[in-house]
């Protein structure tokens, strides 16, 4: 990972390195950085820039730039440190990367990674249309629009594409760990695991098919009761979790 970071900086990225050079973990010799001859993972990272003993706080590396501060990220819990140090450093990094528009403070943030959306409204409301699962809601509802007022946060899964173009049945989202799923010969089979004595919720996409039956068994082969609620485009399943897994067969 450190080598990849260095290559990214060389191509033009701006990297901020915080924290101590010292190893805060056990001094045992079985960590990868010890095996490579470094006192800490930070020192291994700095070595990629040939800066293991430098006192400089900024330097160029290839087409990119590095800023080095030995302060702990824990310090940013204080509002004063955010305005005095953290935001100026971020602004510097953005300017160094020549990002169009520079540093912006829109009053909210809405970040997407894959099909997951993380949103928070600080001063300006957020509104986005589409098809989303509200992950913070235990019923995993499908909503047509994200609306957040100042002070509100949300975690969503964007399912617009699968609802529009999908044909095969699939698990859209689960409140527990989805171990596996397979659709074959008109049957969707999937295995989920979760803490005992807690409820599970699974939002299903039936695709172009019609639901005819659902069966569920635990790791001992015992039947598990499943509550089924059909919505316009999706199906919600609710049943008891099991740490050893529950296998569901949807025909």
Q: Work out the pLDDT band at 70, boundaries 50, 70, 90.
A: confident
245, burial (CB in 10 Å: exposed 0-12, middle 13-18, buried 19+): middle
Rounded CA separation 178/194 (Å) = 9
Task: Provide the token pair at 190.
Answer: 């999937």
Residue bearing tokens 């730039």: 65
147 vs 127, 135, 150, 155, CA distance in Å? 5, 14, 10, 12
Mean pLDDT of 61-78: 87
Stretch (H or E) spanning 66: strand 64-68
Fold of 108-163: Immunoglobulin-like (2.60.40)
pTM, two decimal places: 0.69
Residue bearing tokens 């067969």: 249
CB atoms within 10 A of CB 28: 8
Where does 167-250 sit in CATH, by number? 2.60.40
**Mean of the per-residue pLDDT values for the chain?**
90
Stretch (H or E) spanning 174: strand 170-174
pLDDT tens-place string over residues 126-164: 999 999 999 999 899 999 999 999 999 999 999 999 999
Rounded CA separation 207/217 (Å) = 24
Rounded CA separation 31/25 (Å) = 9
pLDDT tens-place string over residues 152-202: 999 999 999 999 998 899 999 999 899 999 999 999 999 999 998 889 999
> Where, residue-wise, is CATH 2.60.40 in the chain?
108-163, 167-250
Rounded CA separation 247/237 (Å) = 13
């Amino acid at each position: 990972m450190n080598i990849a970071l260095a290559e990214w900086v060389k191509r033009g990225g701006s990297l901020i390195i915080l924290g101590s050079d010292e190893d805060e973990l056990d001094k045992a010799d079985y960590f990868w950085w010890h095996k490579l001859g470094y006192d800490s993972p930070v020192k291994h990272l700095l070595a990629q820039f040939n800066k293991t003993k430098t006192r400089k706080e900024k330097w160029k590396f290839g087409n990119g730039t590095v800023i080095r501060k030995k302060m702990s990220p824990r310090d940013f819990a204080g509002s004063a440190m955010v305005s005095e140090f953290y935001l100026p450093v971020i602004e510097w990094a953005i300017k160094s990367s020549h990002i169009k528009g520079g540093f912006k403070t829109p009053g909210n943030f809405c970040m997407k990674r894959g099909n997951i959306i993380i949103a928070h409204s600080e001063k300006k409301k957020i509104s986005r249309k589409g098809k989303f699962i509200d992950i913070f809601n235990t019923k995993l509802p499908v909503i047509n629009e994200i609306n957040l007022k100042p002070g509100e946060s949300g975690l969503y899964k964007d399912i617009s594409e699968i609802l529009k173009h999908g044909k095969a049945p699939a698990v859209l989202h689960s409140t527990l760990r989805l171990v596996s799923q397979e659709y074959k010969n008109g049957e969707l089979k999937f295995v989920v695991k979760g803490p005992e004595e807690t409820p599970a919720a699974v939002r299903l996409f039936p695709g172009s098919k019609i639901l005819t039956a659902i069966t569920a068994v635990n790791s001992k082969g015992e039947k598990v009761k499943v509550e089924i609620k059909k919505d316009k485009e999706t199906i919600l399943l609710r049943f008891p979790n099991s740490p050893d897994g529950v296998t569901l067969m949807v025909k």
